[in-house]
Amino acid sequence: MKLYFHPMSGNSRRVLLVATHLDLPLERVLVDLTKGEQRLPAHLGRNPNGRVPVLDDDGFVLWESRAIMQYLCDKTPGQTLLPPSSDAQGRAEVNRWLSWCTAHMAPANALLVQENFVKGLTGRGAPDPVEVARGEALFHASAKVLDTHLADRTWVALDRVTLADYSLAAGFALAGPARFPIGDYVHLRAWLQRVEALDAWQRTTPQR
C-alpha cells in the first residue's frame, strides 16, 4: 500500500499512527505541500480535493483520513482500535468521536495551525488577529467539551486506545508552535501526554 502524505499534516499523521499501531507497512510518497504539489494534476487525479493523505491499495484509491483509518482496521484481523460491526454500540461510540473531531475540534485546531504556524512556514505573512481570535473561540468551545469528557476517563472512547484517540490527538501535534490555548484544560493535557507516550506516537513524530 502507498500513502501519499506530508509529515507535518495532521491528517497524514492520523493514518500513520494507525498503520504504525497495526504494524502495517506503507510505502510513503511525499506530496510537498510547501511547493503546492497537492494542486498539481498528478495529485488531483488521486484526490480532486487537492489534499493529503491518499491511500492507494493496489489500485483502490481512498482519500479522507478517517475513512483510511477505518479501512486499515477493517483489513487487520484481531485489531482493537475499532470495534467490529457485531459490537454496534462500541463501534458507534468510536464513530461518535470521529465525527465530533471532524465537525468541531479539528476545524478549530486547523485554523490556529494555519494562522500561527503555516503562514510563517510558507512566508505568507503574519497571523491575522481576527482569524486567530476566531480560532481561539472555536478551540475553547470544543476543548471544554473534550476536557469535561476526559475528567473521569483514561481514553476518549471505551476502555482502551481507539481510533478516537488517534484522530483527536493528531490535531494537537502542533499545539506548541501553533499556540493552542490549552493551558487550563488539565484533563485534556493529561490524556494527550498518555497518547504521546504510546509507541505509535513516538515512531511517527516528524523531524521538523
| pLDDT, tens digit, 9 for 90 and up, residues 103-153 | 999 999 999 999 999 898 777 889 999 999 999 999 999 999 999 999 999
| Peptide bond between residue 53 and the one before it cis (omega within 30 degrees of 0) | yes
3-state secondary structure 137-194: HHHHHHHHHHHHHHHHCCCCCCCCCCHHHHHHHHCCCCCCCCCCCCCCCHHHHHHHHH
Given a cut of 60, whether residue 208 has pLDDT beyond it is no
Phi-psi region of 64 (alpha: psi -120 to 50; beta: other; left: phi over 0): left
Residue 207 has pLDDT above 80, yes or no: no
Residue type, 141: A
- Centre a 10 Å sphere on the Cβ of residue 182 and count the other Cβ atoms it contains: 17
Residue 29's DSSP bridge partners are 4
Helix axes 163-170, 65-74, angle to 10 degrees: 150
Residue 48 has pLDDT above 70, yes or no: yes
Q: pLDDT tens for residues 74-111?
A: 999 999 999 999 999 999 999 999 999 999 999 999 99
What does the alpha-carbon distance between residue 125 and residue 119 come to, in Å, rounded to a whole number?
6
Instruction: Catalogue all structural domains in the chain, each as residue range(s) with its CATH number.
Output: 2-74 (3.40.30.10), 88-201 (1.20.1050.10)
Those residues with Cβ within 8 angstroms of residue 182's Cβ, 6 or more apart along the chain or in another chain: 143, 172, 175, 188, 189
For the cut 90, the answer to whether the pLDDT of residue 10 exceeds it is yes
pTM to 2 decimals? 0.95
Euclidean distance between CA atoms 115 and 93, whole angstroms: 32
Average pLDDT of the segment spanning 8-17: 96
